[in-house]
Structure 1
Amino acid sequence: MEVRKINPNDTWSIRQSVMWPDKPLAYVQLEEDERGVHFGVFENTELLSVVSLFLEEENAQFRKFATKVAHQGKGYGSVLLQALIEECEKQHIKNLWCNARVSAYPFYQKFGFEIVSETWTKDGIEFVKMSRTF
């Protein structure tokens, strides 16, 4: 298993198939993708998990964190999130945050993230803002 930086377009098919399978590919393409730093977890040559990081001074947001459905629960997401946290520490980030699906917030809590907002709904899915300080 290896974590590597990847191109934005390498993230799109996993984002779409995992997060919004009923939406077109364009739905998961972000205007800010070109300014982000994108990471993927590879097993041999297969890309299994992706995340996109957007830095703004001492703050960073990660978005579109997704692991192929057949490979969920096998530790790929944990490895990727830990690598993301380490990257933020290297970049002297003070606050790392995300808009998490409510169903996933226990996963983020294991990595020191706390809920910092009320829930809201987008396309029938509940979200909550979570943050971790360094």
Structure 2
Amino acid sequence: MIEIKTITAEQVLPIRHQVLWPHFPPEHSKVTGDEDALHVGAYKDQKLVCVASVFREGNSARLRKFATLPSYQGVGIGSQVIEHILTIVKQEGGETFWCDARESAFGFYQRFGMTTIGETFYKEDIPYKKMSVALSSRSD
């Protein structure tokens, strides 16, 4: 069973670093505004295995630094985390949910009704596009 709950900025950093930017120093995984963001963690057998951070900007919410430990990827944990976050954002009056998505993850985000916006851009040679969904258009 997966337990999803709010966690601290400090708790997300080890998984962010290990999964997203392991070849950089751990500080590279920090984000300006972490202290004010919503951080969510998924636990499997009391072990933190997936983290995500949500930064609110007016009526929109931006997903940043979403990471699942490799041995726990592909089994639905990330999907449960996104659904949990979408529920919170909608309950709090959020109208738009968006992220800068790695090209390799487009299919994952499309399952939540997200569509690509704009041109491809690169972060450290990794291709990304902005993806977004209007929460009022989602049927939960």
Structure 1 equivalent of residue 138 of structure 2: none
Structure 2 equivalent of residue 52 of structure 1: 53
Aligned length: 134
Structure 2 equivalent of residue 31 of structure 1: 32
Scaled by the length of structure 2, what TM-score is found?
0.93
Structure 2 equivalent of residue 102 of structure 1: 103
Scaled by the length of structure 1, what TM-score is found?
0.98
The amino acid of 1:21's aligned partner reads P
CA root-mean-square deviation: 0.7
Percent same amino acid among aligned pairs?
34
Secondary structure, counterpart of 1:111 in structure 2: coil
The amino acid of 1:89's aligned partner reads K
Q: Deviations over 1:3-22 (max 9, x none)?
A: 10000010011011111110
Secondary structure, counterpart of 1:119 in structure 2: strand
Q: Deviations over 1:71-110 (max 9, x none)?
A: 1001110100010111111011111100000110110000
Q: Report 1:1-134 matches (<5 A).
A: 1-134=2-135
The CA distance in 2 between the partners of 1:116 and 1:77, in whole Å, is 22
